[in-house]
A and B are shown apart, each in its own frame.
Chain A
């Protein structure tokens, strides 16, 4: 995990080349951060097609904004900021849209094969139990506010430290910890009926 304050940006060279018009250097940055950003957006939206479209928008925005990137933060922090902002804006719009209900999202999440952990595929009973639990977890995740879902996704799923999350969200570490605490309480209460 890059730390902006202590180390030079490991992507400095790729960023410089991409800024001078080297599309292969930008491709390398997409391949380096694409999977992580996919995980972030997918866990925030719970929708594959939306994730794909948002990821295209995120990298397009980064590509066009690259000349304005001053290197005050690492490229990693910067592109995460773009991803979080674009995804949160999208979620606000989606909330306002009448056509997309939470129930529709729930069903698409439940049927999504990406949500089944492949390490448990060999044991059908265990896998079925886990699948049920993950289904409930996804439902509980979707019932979180966007701000809470964002910190849970970054901290619990992606393993990003509090300080880095605070930098990405441009907020204090205390706020990040507080959001996490309330989000965990919410998830605990949502999952208590299914926990043995």
Chain B
């Protein structure tokens, strides 16, 4: 026995209920944009990378602030680690100057010549030089 046209139509109409699984289009969109960005950056070369990155950031929505904060933290940490600090700096190595260096006379002798006695004009504990 043959089905009539209406019966075939009804049987085919059941196939309308066929759907991709739940969440299919979320993954689909992700893959679509990944492929699109990859194609565009291939076309543009290195200049495309910057536009791709800025487009990615603009598409992040509110979470871009979290990413921005994280990136700022990483940048500060990198600067702190890479830039030399005062305690770590070393003086340049000594070089031979090629002539005699005269050592000055000991300071002790000069001090002996000074009059360190207290004067009448000064108050207790004060000295005039």
A interface with B by C-beta (< 8 Å): 23, 27, 30-31, 34-35, 38-39, 42-43, 52, 55-56, 59-60, 63, 114-115, 117-119, 130, 133-134, 137, 152, 156-159, 184, 187-189, 191-192, 195-196
Query: Smallest CB–CB gap between B25 and chain A, Å?
Result: 5
Partner of B14, one of A134, A188, A195: A134
A114 touches B8 (CB 8 A): no
CA distance A157 to B15 in the complex (A): 6
Query: By DSSP majority rule, is chain B's interface helix, strand, loop, or mixed?
Result: helix
CA distance A39 to B24 in the complex (A): 13
Q: Mark B16-33, 1 if CB is under 8 A from A, else 0.
A: 111110001100110111
Would you call B94 an interface residue if the criterion is a C-beta within 8 Å of the partner chain's C-beta atoms? no
Query: Smallest CB–CB gap between B7 and chain A, Å?
Result: 8
Partner of B13, one of A156, A191, A195: A156
Interface residues on B, range: 20 to 34
Q: Mark B61-90, 1 if CB is under 8 A from A, else 0.
A: 000000000000000000000000000000
A134 cross-chain contacts in B, Cβ below 8 A: 11, 14-15
B122 cross-chain contacts in A, Cβ below 8 A: none
A157 cross-chain contacts in B, Cβ below 8 A: 12-13, 15-16
Q: Please, which residue of chain A has its CB at the minimum distance from the CB of B39? A: A60
A117 touches B14 (CB 8 A): yes
28 interchain pairs, CB-CB under 8 A: A27-B29, A30-B28, A30-B29, A31-B29, A34-B28, A35-B19, A38-B19, A38-B24, A39-B16, A43-B15, A43-B18, A55-B28, A56-B32, A59-B32, A60-B35, A114-B20, A117-B14, A117-B17, A130-B14, A133-B11, A134-B11, A157-B12, A157-B13, A189-B2, A191-B2, A191-B8, A191-B11, A195-B3
B20 cross-chain contacts in A, Cβ below 8 A: 35, 38, 114
Partner of B9, one of A30, A115, A156: A156
A189 cross-chain contacts in B, Cβ below 8 A: 2
Q: Please, which residue of chain B has its CB at the minimum distance from the CB of A133? A: B11
